Copies of this chain bind each other. A is one copy, B any other.
């Protein structure tokens, strides 16, 4: 790492669509603060999350490994104890790793119990929190219902709100994520008809502002001459649903500011059976209705606008404290949001609004001056961001860490050096727990999709569940409205075969030999011989004379007669 770059601010927004920032082309949603960071750094336009779902995507960010490698394949599936995390790698390099906000981590309680790891110990806490030291863990979902609380830990955000005078058992539910009807009844943010109401909370106390404030306080605390280098994962909960936003953001956008819905009647004619089921789940049905889009899209835009304003607040603080000069900053998201495109809501599938993520990286070091303001359209995966952080912290990836970290550092590109880009990007979905699979009843281990995309084609393999593939021609159909998965055109057949070949190659990658590096292996041959293992020698003449000191000498006692 250049002497100038000391810290890393790893900012993630939850469910932020890549094209809902003005630097990514949104015509009405102006995000000048993030745009300015893009001008000072590099903006990547072709970035894929490893899975369009919070948990698995994040576990890939936090381990630097594909979902298939770390195994925490959908929300709520624990990350096994044995997986190394970003925090483990950074701490070895002398950098602390802190969390402020959401991770969607589920601890591997059984694995921890097997190894006697106490979650209250430092080691146990890190394992339980996927490698981070916790400033505040807040996954931003604090509802409760007949079976209890969705998140059973104590909400630091609710504690904060109560301290600030919000008089409720669950102010997250009743204030931050609810408006008020004219008659004084609560208007829950769970019901999308309320998305245009202002959340019943002061903007400065909303989740997004709360986390920014906490981050600024963290920066102040660390602003000592002898502070260790740190990575802070500032992980915002928004613009993830519930879709409701505090004033003045709740009515900042109108119908005239919405992007046209990207969908076609042809998509509903004979669709892929899995796509059909996602279109027909409760969310899909909702997001095909105009009344839903009319309420939700402006609220989603308002949430993002608030995020951008909070970025302005944060960046001013970084400038004021001098941290802008020694802090690498990355802004990204765990996945996108369909917002009605392709007749879908939420995420899960592999159309661009769901699987592509924004990525802006600002590197303060002089080496990065050459690329400031550049836009990069090479294929990037989320795990490359992890690799970038580890390299920025001084880690050597090639032959030393690349047996564990599966991504490629973007630092060479940022520093204007040649870079070996990937030929294809992979994303995965485990739909075993989806509503679709409540109908399909595909065995859990077979309920998997693999996306393989290059710049020309996007291919989705659904074979393990017994389904045909999907194919999109990103050049001739950039809106991904025509699934060519049943095409018999030679070009399409050849494209599917080529992508299938990529998938086979990827599936055979060596992902689990995580205890020995490439370099350690290169250094191994010959060692056993020098520790006395002699193979294939008929007599003394065939053994290395240096190594035969233990093979000769009079015996002290005969236990058997020679030749007996």
Contacts and interface: CB of A to CB of B under 8 A. Distances in A.
Given A123-B115, A546-B146, A552-B186, A464 B515 contact: no
Contacts of A192: 536-539
Contacts of A241: 535
A127 interface: yes
A540 interface: yes
B433 A524 contact: yes
A291 B114 contact: no
Which of A115, A178, A564 has the most chain B CB atoms inside 10 A of its CB? Answer: A115
Given A70-B512, A173-B550, A535-B241, A560 B198 contact: yes
B115 A81 contact: yes
B80 A191 contact: no
Nearest to A246: B560
Interface string A116-160: 110001010001000000000000010111111110000000000
A554 interface: yes
A345 B83 CA distance: 38
A555 interface: yes
Contact of A560 (B82, B201, B555, B564): B201
A166 B466 CA distance: 66
Contact of A186 (B68, B73, B433, B551): B551
Contact of A199 (B115, B524, B560): B560
A341 interface: no
B71 A515 contact: yes
Contacts of A178: 555
A531 B191 contact: no
B438 A532 contact: no
Contact of A141 (B201, B530, B533): B533
A281 interface: yes
Interface string A62-94: 000000111111001111111110001000000
Contacts of A551: 186, 188, 190-191
A560 to B, nearest CB: 5
A123 B531 CA distance: 30
B510 A448 contact: yes
Contact of A143 (B433, B532, B552, B557): B532
Nearest to A445: B510
A518 B77 CA distance: 12
- Number of this chain's copies in the assembly equals 2
A285 interface: yes
A76 to B, nearest CB: 7
A244 B250 CA distance: 85
A112 to B, nearest CB: 9
Contacts of A283: 535-536
A494 interface: no
Given A464-B508, A538-B193, A560-B247, A79 B532 contact: no
A143 B507 contact: no
A36 interface: no
8 closest pairs, A vs B, by CB? A82-B82, A143-B532, A71-B512, A282-B536, A283-B536, A444-B521, A507-B507, A145-B532
Given A146-B546, A190-B543, A511-B512, 11 more contacts: A116-B117, A116-B123, A146-B530, A147-B527, A166-B559, A191-B534, A192-B537, A202-B559, A286-B536, A438-B525, A503-B508
11 contacts: A70-B512, A79-B515, A147-B527, A179-B562, A184-B555, A184-B558, A188-B550, A197-B563, A283-B535, A345-B536, A435-B525
Interface of A: 68-73, 76-84, 88, 108, 110-111, 114-117, 121, 123, 127, 141, 143-150, 165-168, 170, 173-175, 178-182, 184-186, 188, 190-193, 197-202, 205, 241, 246-248, 281-287, 289, 291-292, 345-346, 403, 430, 432-435, 437-438, 443-446, 448, 450, 464, 503-504, 507-516, 518, 521-522, 524-525, 527-540, 542-543, 546-547, 549-564
